[in-house]
């Protein structure tokens, strides 16, 4: 029990004890007047003395202990009532009317022991009086129905009525408090259910409630010969809104998106927020896929409408995965819809896709591939191949590009295009890239120690690895361990990394340039090719994509592109290397254009480390 409750209960008992005291004082005063009127001065004196004693008990004892004061008052009253019963009318005495009142107040204001003690006391008193009258030890005279008796009865009835009124008030008070507590309990239960079954931000049902609604919808639609589907919605690039405008604006955008989706769906449908930027819709009563597609199209159009937040206009799109329920397995249907949603994202986002079994098969293959990749990292199933980089002016091998291959236990040699995307998606690419950098530096140091130097080695760096933030530590450790100069290592990056243009990316570029590691842009010309990035980021080499290089003798358009890249690089003091060089004629034309280096089958295919070593010996 809280301290506040104890204080409130103490105040209530004090109030009732005070009311009892004044009621008794009024009763005694009335009896005193009645005795004075009838001329019974002795009894009047006794009553007056009782009034004084009662006042003393109440005003003195209550200062120390309310329980003690109540106990003394009730004991004194019990003794008075029993004495009057013995002295006057016995069991028919008017004071018998005070017994239930006294017991009532002792139960309300006293403790349990007092109430039980007084009850037993009065039971024995009644039994003793009855036995005494029956055996003739003492015969109580029947009270006379005179004016005095009527006065006493009236006074006692008034006290009893007052006591019943107090009891009724207390019962009302208890009932009111119970109603208030019940209302609070109901409100608390509603709040708990709201928190358990609804999303706090959008007030939409959450996944728990969506699961229940889904199962109910499936059971209802079985009887109506219709079907149920789940729509899995994921906002495209919502992170950009949070990062640029802050999470508060992001929350406003989510709330507006929730309202738009709800406005499209029927009242019988369930729109829920799973968390983050993901929503789930349970659609029931569906008769055709076309009706589902119509709803999906409306959602796509509604979400892409601009939203104004604090004066700024924000845009976003949504990708939707749709799965038709074959049974009431919510988790399985949700997984299928999720899978379809990722398929919609792969198709360019701002789109929807229906789940089919082919997606499930691709998902299983992807999961199996990711598992095999992790195993390959642990059991060292990867191998580096090296392709020569040749200086076009002297036809001298000046370095090599390290190309990873995967020696799969059952599938054989796996090319990078078949596993790099899965490695980047799963994050395994970080461990793979770490191994590639270390292994490439180790091989380069080995060749130099055997007299084939100075050679450089180029390594492709994944955007995931580049943005992880520990690239400088990795590079510095690999170079130091193998005793290589920083200029020996060249890191090849894609133009997509330059597009990030963040403070973190800028710092990584600055740190790598500071230690002397060369940076090159791979497949230049196939991406954004923003000249501003070339100026801002201190890169050293542009690698011209082989799709242009292979056609410079047959396509004036491709030849013009290659020539423009070479001339631009020269004006910016950048070196150029042409990929995919397969003939002497192409190599000669590149040399005439001013290209610095070439790489391709004209000089060598990608070779194992051992075969590349023998290739270097032959080139001597």
Asked whether the predicted pLDDT for residue 267 surpasses 70, the reply is yes
pLDDT reported for residue 526: 67
Asked whether the predicted pLDDT for residue 24 surpasses 70, the reply is no
Percent of the chain's residues with pLDDT above 70: 85
pLDDT reported for residue 440: 93
What is the rounded distance in angstroms from the CA atom of residue 487 to the CA atom of residue 441?
12
Secondary structure of 22-48 as H, E, C letters: HHHHHHHHHHHHHHHHHCCHHHHHHHH
More confident residue, 21 or 421: 421
Q: Out of 55-59, 332-336, 548-552, 574-578, pick the least confident.
A: 55-59
Q: How far is CA 343 from the centre of its chain?
A: 25
- pLDDT (average), residues 553-572: 91
- pLDDT (average), residues 575-589: 93
pLDDT reported for residue 136: 79
Q: How far is CA 426 from the centre of its chain?
A: 23
DSSP tally for the chain: helices H, then strands E: 23, 17
What is the rounded distance in angstroms from the CA atom of residue 319 to the CA atom of residue 342?
8
- pLDDT (average), residues 583-603: 94
Q: Taking the C-alpha atoms of 127, 132, 135 and 137 in order, what is their torsion angle to the nearest 10 degrees? A: 170
In degrees, rounded to 5, the angle at the alpha carbon of residue 391 between the alpha carbons of residues 390 and 397 is: 45
What is the rounded distance in angstroms from the CA atom of residue 413 to the CA atom of residue 385?
12
Across the chain, what does the average pLDDT equal? 82
pLDDT in tens, 445-489: 998 888 877 789 999 988 887 777 578 888 999 999 999 999 899
More confident residue, 13 or 358: 358
Please compute, for residue 341, the number of CA atoms within 13 A of its CA located in the half-sphere on the CB side: 25
- pLDDT (average), residues 14-37: 68
What is the rounded distance in angstroms from the CA atom of residue 420 to the CA atom of residue 429?
7
More confident residue, 415 or 228: 228
Element (H, E) at 601: none
Per-residue pLDDT band at 246 (split at 50, 70, 90): confident
Asked whether the predicted pLDDT for residue 7 surpasses 50, the reply is no
> Which structure tokens are listed for 514?
């500071």
Per-residue pLDDT band at 4 (split at 50, 70, 90): very low
Q: How far is CA 204 from CA 141, 248, 576, 616, in A?
A: 82, 18, 57, 67
pLDDT reported for residue 463: 82
- pLDDT (average), residues 542-569: 91
pLDDT in tens, 372-414: 888 888 888 899 999 999 999 999 999 999 999 999 888 888 8
pLDDT in tens, 411-440: 888 888 888 888 887 788 888 989 999 999
pLDDT in tens, 309-328: 888 888 899 999 999 988 88
Q: How far is CA 212 from the centre of its chain?
A: 20
pLDDT reported for residue 181: 85
| Residue 281: strand pairing partners | 231, 271
Per-residue pLDDT band at 160 (split at 50, 70, 90): confident
> Which structure tokens are listed for 7?
């204080």
Cis peptide before 122 (omega within 30 of 0): no
């Amino acid at each position: 029990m809280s301290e506040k409750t104890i204080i409130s209960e103490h105040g209530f008992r004090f109030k009732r004890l005070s009311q009892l005291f004044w009621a008794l004082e009024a009763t005694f005063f009335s009896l005193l007047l009645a005795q004075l009127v009838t001329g019974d001065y002795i009894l009047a004196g006794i009553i007056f003395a009782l009034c004084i004693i009662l006042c003393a008990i109440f005003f003195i004892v209550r200062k120390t202990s309310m329980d003690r004061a109540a106990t003394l008052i009730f004991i004194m009253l019990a003794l008075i009532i029993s004495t009057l019963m013995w002295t006057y009318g016995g069991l028919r005495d008017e004071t018998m009317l005070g017994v239930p009142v006294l017991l009532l107040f002792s139960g309300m204001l006293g403790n349990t022991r007092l109430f039980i003690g007084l009850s037993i006391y009065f039971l024995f008193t009644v039994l003793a009086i009855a036995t005494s009258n029956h055996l003739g030890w003492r015969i109580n005279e029947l009270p006379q129905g005179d004016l005095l008796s009527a006065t006493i009865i009236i006074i006692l009835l008034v006290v009893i009525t007052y006591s019943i009124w107090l009891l009724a008030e207390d019962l009302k008070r208890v009932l009111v408090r119970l109603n208030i507590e019940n209302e609070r309990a109901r409100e608390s239960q509603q709040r708990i259910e709201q928190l358990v079954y609804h999303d706090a931000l959008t007030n939409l049902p959450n996944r728990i409630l969506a699961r229940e609604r889904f199962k109910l919808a499936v059971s209802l639609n079985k009887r109506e010969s219709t079907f149920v589907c789940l729509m899995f919605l994921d906002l495209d690039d919502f992170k950009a809104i949070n990062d640029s405008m802050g999470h508060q604006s992001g929350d406003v955008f989510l709330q507006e998106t929730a309202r738009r989706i709800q406005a499209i769906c029927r009242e019988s449908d369930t729109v829920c927020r799973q968390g983050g930027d993901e929503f789930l819709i349970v659609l029931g009563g569906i008769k055709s896929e076309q009706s589902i597609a119509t709803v999906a199209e409306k959602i796509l159009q509604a979400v892409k409408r601009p939203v104004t937040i604090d004066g700024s206009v924000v845009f976003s799109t949504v990708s939707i995965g749709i799965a038709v329920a074959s049974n009431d397995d919510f988790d399985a249907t949700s997984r299928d819809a999720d899978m379809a949603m990722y398929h919609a994202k792969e198709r360019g986002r701002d789109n929807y896709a229906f789940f089919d079994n082919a997606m499930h098969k691709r998902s299983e293959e992807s999961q199996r591939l990711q598992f095999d990749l992790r195993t390959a990292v642990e059991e060292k199933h990867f191998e580096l191949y090296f392709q020569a980089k040749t200086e076009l002016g002297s036809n001298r091998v000046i370095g090599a590009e390290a190309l990873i291959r995967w020696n799969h236990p059952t599938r054989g040699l796996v090319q990078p295009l078949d596993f790099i995307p899965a490695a980047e998606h799963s994050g395994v690419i970080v461990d793979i890239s770490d191994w590639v950098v270390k292994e490439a530096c180790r091989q380069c140091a080995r060749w130099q120690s055997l007299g084939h130097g100075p050679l450089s080695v180029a390594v492709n760096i994944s955007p995931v690895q580049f943005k992880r933030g520990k690239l400088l530590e990795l590079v510095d450790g690999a170079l130091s361990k193998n005793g290589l100069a920083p200029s020996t290592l060249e890191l090849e990056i894609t133009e997509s990394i330059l597009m990030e243009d963040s403070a973190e990316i800028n710092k990584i570029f600055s740190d790598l340039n500071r230690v002397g590691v060369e940076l090159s842009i791979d497949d230049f010309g196939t991406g954004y090719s923003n000249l501003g990035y070339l100026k801002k980021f201190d890169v050293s080499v542009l690698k011209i994509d082989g799709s242009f290089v292979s056609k410079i003798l047959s396509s004036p358009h491709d030849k013009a592109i290659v020539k423009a890249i070479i001339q631009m690089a020269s004006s910016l003091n950048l070196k150029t290397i042409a990929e995919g060089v397969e003939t002497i004629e192409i190599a000669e034309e590149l040399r005439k254009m001013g290209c610095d280096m070439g790489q391709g089958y004209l000089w060598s295919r990608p070779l194992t480390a051992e075969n590349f070593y023998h290739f270097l010996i032959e080139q001597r």
